[in-house]
Amino acid sequence: MLIDFHSHIFPDRIAAGALKSLSDSIVKYQGVRYPHYTDGTLNGILKSMDDNGVDISLILPIATKPTQTENINSFAKSIRSDRIASFGSLHPEQDDWEAVLEQLAEDGFKGIKLHPEYQSFYVDSKRSLDILKKCEDLGLYVTLHAGFDYGQPPPAHCQPDRLKNVLDYVSGKYIIAAHLGAFVNWDEVEKHLVGTPVNFDTAFISKFISPEQCKRIIRSHGADKILFGSDSPWQEPKKEYDFLLSLGLEKEEEDKIFYKNALKILE
């Protein structure tokens, strides 16, 4: 069984435009155009899941403005099925953030996605700490974009030293730091986050991290706290899966990463 714990889709009518603007912003800051492997729609990801051997995908929507939260969360609710799960969304600047979180928990959501770059907040700012604390109290997981984002200018808002600060306020058990703790900043992950209770997903790392460092981080952090993710449509799940398989982990470690840890959160 394979569960992709980090993927993105959009409502049909905005999918093409959303992919184009995300892709354009990466071109702006990196000078490279990354391909997208689905058309960004629900049907698109279902087809890709069939092609890549993915049984369940978790969608991580992001409200880039407070006014988008309500629509995004009703979309997130509407796409749920036996193959599609979704976290909810919240913009840290909205005044009613507490009520939104309570409603999401009541509606059966298991977590939310926050994106410190696209929502421009530091992970150890007052509002962020309040949100992370409230989520922990409600039992909601928080997937945080962590490390650099190729579509946004520096400084990055959720680097390992700042994420470490958060652990003075919350346990970290409900945090999932995307991209193995911090995209393209894995030396700092090893310095500040490995061994803490924070979970990592594996989205969009295979092209950038050495197999040695990836295996070392997984082993020293513990496979119990690693969740398979691809960042679809920006990567094909099979490529990330094959990369992780190539590391030569124990079968039990692979099972935890590929589906067992995810099932515990989704059930």
Q: Is 231 in the site for Zn ion (CB under 5 A)?
A: yes
Closer by beta carbon to Zn ion, 7 or else 69: 7
**Cα separation of 37 and 46, whole Å?**
12
Region near Zn ion per CB under 5 A, out of 21-29, 88-96, 125-133, 227-235: 227-235
**Cα separation of 220 and 230, whole Å?**
22
Residue nearest to Zn ion (CB): 231
Please state the closest distance from residue 60 (CB atom) to Zn ion, in A: 6
3-state secondary structure 45-66: HHHHHHHHCCCEEEECCCCCCH
Query: How many residues sit close enough to Zn ion to count as binding (CB under 5 A)?
Result: 1
Cα dihedral sign, 196-198-202-206: negative
Closer by beta carbon to Zn ion, 249 or else 265: 265
Closer by beta carbon to Zn ion, 15 or else 249: 15
3-state secondary structure of 4: strand
**Cα separation of 48 and 27, whole Å?**
24
Please state the closest distance from residue 158 (CB atom) to Zn ion, in A: 13
Q: Which residues of 124-137 are buried (b: 16+ CB within 10 A; e: fewer)?
A: beeebbebbebbbe
Closer by beta carbon to Zn ion, 231 or else 253: 231
Please state the closest distance from residue 169 (CB atom) to Zn ion, in A: 25
Each residue 184-223 as x (binds Zn ion by CB under 5 A) or -, in order, gives ----------------------------------------
Region near Zn ion per CB under 5 A, out of 126-134, 152-160, 194-202, 225-233: 225-233
Count of beta carbons in the 10 Å neighbourhood of residue 17: 11
Summarize as ranges the residues that interact with Zn ion (CB under 5 A): 231
